[in-house]
Amino acid sequence: MKTLITVVIAAVVLLAAALFIFNPANASNEHLEKHKHAFTAELYQQAKAENRLVLIDVYAPWCPTCRRQHGVLNDYFAANPNSDIQVLQVDFDSQKDWVTHFKAPRQSTLALYRGYEQLWFSVAQTKQKTIFAELQKHDTGAN
């Protein structure tokens, strides 16, 4: 009986590990990483002055919705390697002044700007079709 219990426990542990490893939320975001920068006022001001396309990503490391969004953004940049979008990541927990500045009601807020103009604002959106469509509307480097 002890052997059977041990086998069942081992199977459950292996299944849990496999589900964690193959969960898209845990996948590498290598394409997103090439476009992402930690938010600083200097980077933001420079991007506005140069009329660049900037995606403000209000995120928290503990937020599952943020992880899903990052998976979608990673897929977007994989499909559009010449994208001219710069992602500036605002830390929801430590950059409260900027969270307020961007009127983010919570983590998982995305706001797209070209220079001083806000082009799109979204909270907790994780649908690939919606995010792709909004980014592609303004991304001159998109395929």
Q: Whole-angstrom Cα distance, residue 50 to residue 26?
A: 34
State the amino acid at position 112 in one-letter form: L
Average pLDDT over residues 58-84: 94
Residue 44 lies in a domain: yes
Residue 62 lies in a domain: yes
Tell me the per-residue pLDDT of 91-102, one tens digit each, with 9 for 90 and over. Answer: 999 999 999 999
Query: CATH code at 109?
Result: 3.40.30.10
Residue 117 lies in a domain: yes
Q: Whole-angstrom Cα distance, residue 137 to residue 88?
A: 19
Tell me the residue range of the domain where 92 lies: 29-138
Q: Whole-angstrom Cα distance, residue 15 to residue 18?
A: 5
Residue 66 lies in a domain: yes
Residue 2 lies in a domain: no
pTM: 0.78
Q: Whole-angstrom Cα distance, residue 87 to residue 8?
A: 45
DSSP-derived pairing of the beta strands 109-114 and 53-59? antiparallel
Residue 13 lies in a domain: no
Q: Whole-angstrom Cα distance, residue 4 to residue 24?
A: 32
Residue 56 lies in a domain: yes
**Domain tally for the chain?**
1
Residue 36 lies in a domain: yes
Of the pLDDT bands very low, low, confident and very high (cuts 50, 70, 90), residue 137 is: very high
Residues 6+ apart with CB under 8 A from 56: 39, 88, 90, 102, 109, 110, 111, 112, 113
